[in-house]
Amino acid sequence: MPMNEAAGLRPSNLTDQQRQEAMESIYGLAQKDDTTMFPNTDTDSFSYEERVRLRRVLDQLDQKEAGGMKEFDLNKPPAPPYLYREYPILLYNHSTGQNRPARNYDERQRMLAEGWSENPVAPAPPEVELTPQEELEAKELTRELKKKKAS
């Protein structure tokens, strides 16, 4: 016989009525109005002081629960809220094609006075060599577009 099995079933010493009441109380189906657990539950009988004391107790319990563990999805952990920071800001030099961050307001003003810009350098369009046949096709398409535009 395995170790975790009982040697034998012991007979219950409860009557059928007691067993029925126990099952009902386990499943929350108790028929009786059992006031021994919660005495003085009539809301009209509470005094003002008792209501204030109960509110304080409930507030303390709510505060304890609010500071407890919070559940979150492990696949998407909570991210810190976005905090706007003006600096560092990236400035661009159009003559050299460089960029450099300005760490504060004074450095930004100095760099702007030196010729730096807040707008990035636009990339140069790529140069594409067309074959003579492709040039003829391009001219034909341009001519057709101009006809549609004029009409």
- The tens digit of pLDDT for each residue in 41-88 reads 666 677 888 888 989 988 888 887 777 667 788 898 888 999 999 999
- How many CA atoms within 13 Å lie on the side-chain side of 129? 1
Other CB atoms closer than 10 Å to residue 111's CB: what's the count? Answer: 19
The domain locations on the chain are 84-121
Give the largest Cα separation in the chain, rounded: 107
pLDDT tens per residue across span 1-22? 566 666 667 778 889 888 888 8
Side chain identity, residue 2: P
User: What is the model's pTM?
Assistant: 0.36
Question: Please, which pLDDT band fits residue 129 given cuts at 50, 70 and 90?
Answer: confident
